[in-house]
A and B are shown apart, each in its own frame.
Chain A
Amino acid sequence: MGLPVNRALRFLPLLILVAFVGAVAWRLSTPANEKITSKMIGQPVPAFALAPATPVKPGLASTQLTSGQPRILNVFASWCVPCIAEAPLLGELRRRGVPIDAIAVRDRPEDVAAFLSRYGDPFDHIGADPESRAQLALGSSGVPETFIVDGRGVIRYQHMGPIEPGDLPGLIGQWEAAK
């Protein structure tokens, strides 16, 4: 081994250290996106038949999502605080003619009923998902989440987290595109 190579190699550990510190500093300043999106987009809705989440509303079967027109499928829970924030926006979507169904995750009938009477009820069907099975089958990783399902029952879009006013045009656009 010649001397010049050795001299260059001497700085290798320092270079590795600088690269490592640089990588760590970069990830600290721009955190990775931790949203785990569903891989079911573009796939048919998984088969499920959920009992009514509250006595005043019919339950939800996956076959009801192949109605010929695109629908919104909202995954929510009465115990979920951000779900309260998005409730009026779901009402707004309903007023604009978007049909909405829902899955109530780990919920009791009386709690769902109280939630609907307090924060509004834009839903056609609400299925109960007491052990998060339908939620897992959809590839959803939390509440609230909103899926757009086209008329043939294929999942076309997923919105994670509460719907905010700025999300409405995008959601309606996706719903129109699923027609």
Chain B
Amino acid sequence: MKHLLALMVFCATPALADSNLPPARWANEQLPNPRQEAEAKALMEELRCLVCQGQSIADSNAELAGDMRAMVRQRIAAGERPEQVRFWLIERYGNWVSYRPPVEPMTWPLWAAPIILLLAGAWQFRNRLTRRRR
């Protein structure tokens, strides 16, 4: 009985979690204007998918990511700047939705870390040199 149950679990088809609608028009179709498409693509790579967190909407196959790509392309085709689209999403989902953290007191350590590490490395290097010379 136990084996049968296990077998049934493995043979079960996963519940449908996708809609019956095809992807939105601009989800997977490039904009005719190459400059706008490049802007849209660059922004999509920096926006985080809300469903499969950890992927960008450019990488994700989730339907919501497709709808977000369509939205990004439509807004940029309508003349919006990529930063305006990013800001519109941050207003709704917080900084979480963008892979490019803003410069604000909360993130100063993040932006300062490379500089501090470089300085620490330089200091160490200098110490090594002076010690060897001794």
Contact = CB atoms under 8 A, between A and B. Distances in A.
Interface of A: 34, 36, 38-40, 77, 79-81, 105-108, 111, 130-133, 135-139, 141-142
B70 A131 contact: yes
A130 B24 CA distance: 8
A118 to B, nearest CB: 15
Interface residues of B, number: 25
Contacts of B64: 132, 135, 141-142
Interface of B: 15-21, 24, 50-51, 53, 63-64, 67-68, 70-71, 89-94, 96-97
Among B18, B21, B89, max chain A CB count under 10 A is at B21
A39 B20 contact: no
Contacts, number: 67
A10 to B, nearest CB: 15
Chief secondary structure at chain A's binding surface: loop
Contacts of A106: 19, 21, 63, 67
B51 A136 contact: no
Contacts of A130: 21, 24
